[in-house]
Amino acid sequence: MKLKLLNILQLSPAVLVSAMLFSACTDLNVDVESELTPLNFPTKPEHFEAAKGPIYSNLPANYAIDYWRLQSLSTDEVLIPARGGNWDDGGQYRELHKHTWTVDHAIVRTIWEYGFKGISSCNQILTMFENVPEGELRNKQFAEIRMMRAFYYFLMLDNFGNVPILKSFGDDTPTSPRADVFNFIKSEILEILPYLPVKKDATTYGRPTKWMAHALLAKMYLNAKVYTGQSMWNEAVVQCDFIIQSGLFSLDTDYKSMFLPTNGPAVKEFIFAIVYDAFKITGNSFTRYSLTPELRTKYELGTRSPSNCMKTLPEFYDKFNLTGDVRNTTWLIGPQSNNDGTPITIKTTYKGLDETYTGPARDTIWQLYFTKETWLRGDPLKMDTGNDYLSQYMGPRSIKFYPDKNWDPVNRSDNHDFPVFRYADILLMKAEAILQGATATNGETPLMLVNQIRSRAKAPLFTAAPTLDELLEERAREFVWEGWRRNDLIRFGKYKNTWLFKDSESAKFRELFPVPATQINLNPKLTQNPGY
């Protein structure tokens, strides 16, 4: 049974400061009120647990939907087009796809608030316990909180770059340059590393560990040239080696099993994952967004319909072309059938099937069919693909996060835990760093490292070291739908590229999102990113 960490949501009022979490978390001039006294200061780890609840209740809230959309819809990986009057939603998905977002973009604002809400929660708890005596208990508990703060700061570093460094609850500081934010995160992690847990088991699942810290440092060093202007390829290799040589992680034999709704602590390669529960820790909705109503019976989804909006672009789908690769089977494309082989059909009219039909009114039965191509049939300014049946079922659909028959049909939330760092990424990051010029270690070459991934996927092995472009293609296949596509494209200099419905290259400044206008209005000390 998968651990869901429900204890972190059951907060004890005897220890917990008011769990106020602020939507404008860079304007924090709020006094801390606590029921703690010298007589009831925490003396055991469990005394800290209730107070840490807001850190972990915030974490899943926006990650698998809004944060994921920011990373994926702004790339060639995922598309949510308008369908007649549906799914335009004020143009927010179109603006991400075309790189035309503004300082008022709703999802950008949500993620700024999400990140600083997490940072504020960490700072608030550190302030609560600042008078806890020095010693092992304080060191370990503070290390966990500071590591989560470092993770939230990494999200802000990667997406917004230049952000204020808030070290204490109530800080009101100006924007810091991106390189300074990078160095702050690095110094924090290096300082707390000795106090983070080493175990990989159900007790540390979904919590920061020494291995999560090494993975985050590896990711930062791999992107150091983007973040600071200076390459740190050898440093990335060192962090990857800590994890590889720990012997605690390995590639799961079955790639697809990692993304079942029952995934959890038993997954061998999860270094850090965000825990979801369909009814108690909501916010993961891949079953809802990728599937269509006609697939409810096949995947035992009950009576509540999925939303039928997310698909991939044909040029991205074309990357899944390796003979025998199990990752090819994570897509639905072409004619669809039930598990017993009978076709999945839709009874409609010729006009309902194809809005361009001009003949006499007639009924028809049509087999559900997902095309590879997607094209515009409505208003091109709204990226509208039309709303007849042929239009609705354009584009391959991902079932990498396998449809969850135990989803919450009301909130349409799934049980899949969401991997943030996994062992396959460590292997491919090390391979990339070596290809970029780092010194190979432990006899591991890029060819050996990448072929471990290919072998598990049952794809043809490389016979010579992959090029950087080939490595980027391998990352696309391996980490599709896991929220790393934007990060990868920026590092490889391809985020500016054109793709379907994005007709012109975007400017360099689009590699960072803007500071939301609402936040600058609240805190004039914030500085807007260049270009906005």
DSSP string, 268-292: TTEEEEE--BTTTB----HHHHH--
Bridge-based pairing of strands 175-176 and 334-335 is: unpaired
Residue 382 lies in a domain: yes
pLDDT at 13: 34
* Domain membership flag for residue 183: yes
* 295 closest CA partner among 331, 337, 354: 337
250 belongs to a structural domain:
no
The answer to which of 4-18, 207-221, 406-420 has the lowest mean pLDDT is 4-18
Give the residue from 365, 398, 431 where a domain finishes: 398
pTM, two decimal places: 0.93
Are both 393 and 516 inside the same structural domain? Answer: no
How does residue 35 score in pLDDT terms, banded at 50, 70 and 90?
low
If asked whether residues 61 and 186 sit together in one domain, one would say yes
Contact 482, 364 (CB under 8 A): no
Token pair 């079953």: residue: 287
Let me know if residue 251 belongs to a domain: no
Rounded CA separation 316/75 (Å): 10
Q: What is the pLDDT of residue 486?
A: 98
> Does 139 have pLDDT greater than 70?
yes
CATH code, domain carrying 94: 1.25.40.390
To the nearest whole percent, how much of the chain has pLDDT over 70? 92
- What pLDDT, in 10s, does the model give residues 56-79? 999 999 999 999 999 999 999 999
The alpha carbons of the chain give a radius of gyration, in whole angstroms, of 24
* Among candidate residues 336, 366, 353, 416, the one with its CA nearest the CA of residue 60: 416
Same domain, yes or no: 65 and 182: yes
Lowest mean per-residue pLDDT among 62-66, 84-88, 314-318:
84-88
**Is 284 part of a structural domain of the chain?**
no
Q: C-alpha 161: how far from its chain's center?
A: 17
Q: Which amino acid is at 6?
A: L
382-413 confidence digits (pLDDT tens): 999 999 999 999 999 999 999 999 999 988 89
Beta bridge partners of 335: 369
* Token pair 């997490």 in the structure block, residue: 118
Structural domain boundaries, residue 333:
324-398
Nearest CA to 272 out of 45, 7, 51, 63 is that of 63
Among 25-39, 279-293, 358-372, 498-512, the least confident range: 25-39
Write down the mean pLDDT value for the chain.
Answer: 92
Do 389 and 522 belong together in one domain? no
pLDDT greater than 50 at residue 10: no
pLDDT at 455 over 90: yes
pLDDT at residue number 12? 38
Rounded mean pLDDT, 500-507: 97
- pLDDT tens digit sequence for 190-201: 999 999 999 999
Boundary-marking domain end, from 398, 422, 452: 398
Q: Average pLDDT of 39-54?
A: 77
Between 380 and 46, whose confidence is greater? 380
Question: Residue 343's beta-bridge partner residues?
Answer: 337
Q: Which residue's structure tokens are 């999102």?
A: 513
Task: Name the domain count of the chain.
Answer: 2
pLDDT at 117 over 50: yes
**In this structure, is residue 2 part of a structural domain?**
no
- Cα torsion 283, 289, 295, 299: sign: negative
188 to 145, 213, 217, 386, 509: CA distances (angstroms): 11, 10, 11, 50, 28
Residue 70: inside a domain: yes
Listed residues 383, 398, 413: the one ending a domain: 398
Residue 138, domain member (yes or no): yes
For residue 365, the surrounding DSSP H or E stretch is strand 363-367
Q: Are residues 369 and 507 in the same domain?
A: no
